[in-house]
Amino acid sequence: MRLMIVLIAAIAMIVPGYSTQAHAEYSNKPIHWGFKKAKEGRQADAGKPLEKILEKHGAVYKGSPERKEIYLTFDNGYENGYTDKVLDVLKKEKVPAAFFVTGHYLETAEEQVYRMAKEGHIIGNHSWHHPDMTRTSDAKLKKELESVREKTAELTGNKQMVYLRPPRGVFSERTMNLAKELGYTHVFWSLAYVDWNTDSQKGWRYSYENIMRQIHPGAILLLHSVSKDNADALEKVIKDLKKQGYTFKSLDQYMLGETLKEPMLY
């Protein structure tokens, strides 16, 4: 027994992200988010094994297949000059969104972060340094998340932050459990495409067609604000989806349903 304890202590010292307490109940095996893309209005499908893990930890990736509702989200790792245009479109069309921000973004795009909050959008946690969370210890992961929360509160006055998107969609049951203990809900996505490569922008139609091809009831869209294609296509996407009978909802409305009124957008 004494030898076993010594071995466990040694492993905890040399293996990144190892936590004896967390590993007693939750696996730290990396899980990479993925799904079968939506087609012809049919919902995206992550498959039962992934969906069971999400359900176990209260995570989400799509809404009801019965409602033509859309949840618009952006990942903001750094500012590339297009977020203000995105915010202009959202304001004009009265559409709520969630922006998942990193520490770098908070330190270099303070005006945009303040504007997001002022205009009624949700700011979510994308970690401070954008690490592989499964290779980050419990203590460091808590610091990653708390640093984002504290800086966002400093910039916006809003101390509440409840949504988390793991960098690169890599997670484990350990990281999900830890985040949940800290008050976070994991938000994945059911619609995305390669839009983050700033050296390979292909024009607004590329963004538009990728979104419209995959759109489905209950879609949680993941878009990157560094993309000029996305910024240029966004207004037409929103207008055309509204014509198809879709409505845009906030993540808060998703989680709280009909008990929550429309968000106050300015």
| Residues with a known catalytic role | 75, 224
Q: At what angle do helices 138-156 and 173-181 cross, to 10 degrees?
A: 40
Output the six-digit token pair for 23. Answer: 């590993």
Tell me how far CA of residue 162 lies from CA of 84, 98, 100, 124, 186, in angstroms: 24, 11, 11, 7, 9
Q: Which of 72, 60, 82, 86 has its CA nearest to residue 184?
A: 60
Question: 6 to each of 2, 12, 49, 72, 138, how far by Cα in Å?
Answer: 6, 10, 35, 49, 20
List, in sequence order, every beta strand (DSSP E) within the chain.
Answer: 31-32, 69-76, 98-101, 122-125, 163-164, 170-171, 185-186, 219-224, 247-249
Residue 26, CA atoms < 13 Å, CB-side half-sphere: 23
Asked whether 189 and 54 are in contact (CB, 8 A), the reply is: no
Candidates 227, 213, 221, 214; CA nearest to 254 is 221
